[in-house]
Each structure stands twice: as structure tokens, then as C-alpha cells.
A and B are shown apart, each in its own frame.
Chain A
Amino acid sequence: MEEPFVKTEIRKDENIVYKRTDLLVDRPLSYCPGCGHGVVHRMLMETLEEMDIQDKTIGVSPVGCSVLAYDFMNIDMLGAAHGRAPALATAIKRLWPDKFVFTYQGDGDLAAIGTAETIHACNRGENFTIIFINNGIYGMTGGQMAPTTLPGMRSSTSPYGRDVPTMGHPLRITELISNLPGVHYVTRQAVHTPSHVRKTKKAIRKALEQQKENKGIAFIEVVSNCNSGWKMTPVQSNKWMEENMFPFYPLGDIKVDGKLVEKKETVVKE
């Protein structure tokens, strides 16, 4: 097909200002169209490239859509049992304190099956980075209700919406672990617009830099969409996320340099 509007005088190698990083393996990502995982993968790999620590980084990906991460990241990766990535990362970091270790987990993994591992690793103050992708649903297995599913939100196991009296309240695990003393940096970001993506990248950079100082866990939550699980188009799901997810999961830093960031009371939609 012929491409219209080609600027041949600009389209030269020396004028490239942005291209896909080589640290992502050159194959198509197997995620659904519009999924936030791809952006987080790329930002993580770009950060490693900028810091030039590709050969010193070990990633741990447990079960969920995040398990696919090791197909695409051209670094050393390990697969953990469901929810047990923080336990495995603890072992790796203790054996190789000079390596950069991160876990890449989803909400069904970190906040449901792996709650104990997450909380205890954070409480012990291990020195690695947790990247937590929160889309409020079990995306890989067919959109079942997760602990982070919002009240009234439909999923395949709560077809009439999450009913709080019978199914419980959604779990804000990020706020929960920010109160633990072993945690040094906690933030919540998103990846649906360019400005949010840039902020997420800065947060990842900050979290990885912090590992050099041996201060404790850095925890980055990324509120993301799951358009196939939510049964929406990618653009609709991003809009829905802004309107419904962000009031319950407000973006911004929660704990910086070991101190809780003071915030105005957030309005909780129940």
C-alpha cells in the first residue's frame, strides 16, 4: 500500500527521536489491542536502557498476563509460582545484593493469591522493586472478579456488579502496604495518556535508582485498563478508567523517602 504524506527529507536515521527500544524482543506483543502492559514493558525497558543495567537486572514474573513478560523483555527473567514473586525476589536480592531485582505482578496475583508474600516482603523491608499492574479484574483467565474490582463493576463472576455486602469491599493494597515501615517509596500511576506514561517512567527510574541505596521496597502501582475483560474498546475503557477507577484509586505519590505524603481526603465512591 502506498503511504500518503511521507516527508522523505525528514525520514532519515539521524532524525529519529523515538523508536521502540531494542531491549524489547523483536516480536509482536501477545497482549490484547490497547492493553497497558505493552506500555509498562516498554517504559521499564527504556529505563533499564538509560541506566545501562540490562546485564545486572533480574525480573520475576508470576502468573497472570504478567507471566508473558519474559517472552518480551530481553533481560534475565524468572517465573514464580502464583503470587510468590516477592518471595523469589527476596531470595535473588539477598544472594546478589548488587543486582537490580524487580517483580512484575498483576492485581489477581499480588492482591489476592500473593497478599501474604507481598505484605511480608514489604514489612521485612527487602530491597527490590514491585511493579503492580491494577486493572481490577482477572484478565487472563476470562475476566473474573478480583479483590480490586470496584463496587458495582461487572465481571464474569459478578454479572450483576460487585455486591459489597456479599462479595466484600475492594482492596486498596497500595495504601495498605504504604503504612508498613519497610516500604520506602510508594506511588500510583497510569499509562493511558502521554503525560501519565512519562510520570510512570520517572517513577520506575526513581524506584530502580533507590535499589542502589538499600533503603527498602519501592512499590509502583500502575492503574491500567483491561478492555477485553471490561468488554469495551480501548478508548472507551481508558475513559471508563478515568471516570471510575481514578476516584477510588487516586493517582500520585503515596510515600516518598519513607514518609507518607499528606493528602486531602479522597472521595470514595461506594
Chain B
Amino acid sequence: MAKIKGDILVNVERCKGCEVCIAACPSATIAMSKEVNGKGYHFAMKVNNDCTGCMNCAIVCPDGVITVYRGKVSE
């Protein structure tokens, strides 16, 4: 059965690691990376496949670094 799933793409170099998206995510898909980006911030990254594409993280992101995709996946 086809399922609707989501995916996020974080613009790593623009992320400032404020962690506001983590609190906004209902499926605990986002966490902070151990690595740092060019500016020295830990950046947001996807840590599981539960994303539903609800856009909450992208809407609260102060820097607008998250692009959200939503589409059908064949299981």
C-alpha cells in the first residue's frame, strides 16, 4: 500500500543550531548533529524515517533552512 511520507533537507551551512525545530517536531525526527558546520554550530539533522512532512520544523525555523518534501512511498 502506498503511504504518504515526508522528508526534510537542512541547509547545513545556514543552520545556527537553535534547536527550536526539535521542540516543534511531533515525530522526534530531528536532533542535533555531533559535528559542527563552517560557523561552528551543531546543525539539525534527520535521525529516523518517521517524518510525515508536517512542515512544523520549517515554519518555526528562524533562518528558514529546512525544505520539506512530501510524497507517496511504496512499502
Q: Could you list which residues of chain A lie within 8 angstroms of chain B, going by C-beta atoms?
A: 1, 3-7, 9-12, 14-21, 24, 28-29, 31-39, 42, 191-194, 197-198, 227, 233-235, 238
Contacts and interface: CB of A to CB of B under 8 A. Distances in A.
Given A34-B18, A234-B18, A18 B47 contact: no
A18 B67 contact: yes
Chain A interface SS verdict (over half): loop
Contacts of A32: 16
A12 B69 contact: yes
Chain B interface SS verdict (over half): mixed
Contacts of B35: 1
B48 to A, nearest CB: 6
Contact of A9 (B12, B46, B71): B71
Contacts, number: 118
The 7 A-B residue pairs with the shortest CB-CB distance, nearest first, are A34-B18, A38-B62, A33-B16, A20-B64, A33-B18, A15-B71, A194-B56
Nearest to B33: A1
A11 B69 contact: yes
Contacts of B22: 235
Given A33-B62, A233-B19, 17 more contacts: A4-B45, A5-B48, A6-B7, A11-B9, A12-B71, A18-B58, A18-B59, A18-B66, A18-B67, A33-B17, A34-B18, A34-B62, A39-B60, A192-B20, A193-B24, A194-B55, A238-B23
Assign chain B's interface to a size class: 35 or more
Contacts of B51: 7
A105 B9 CA distance: 32
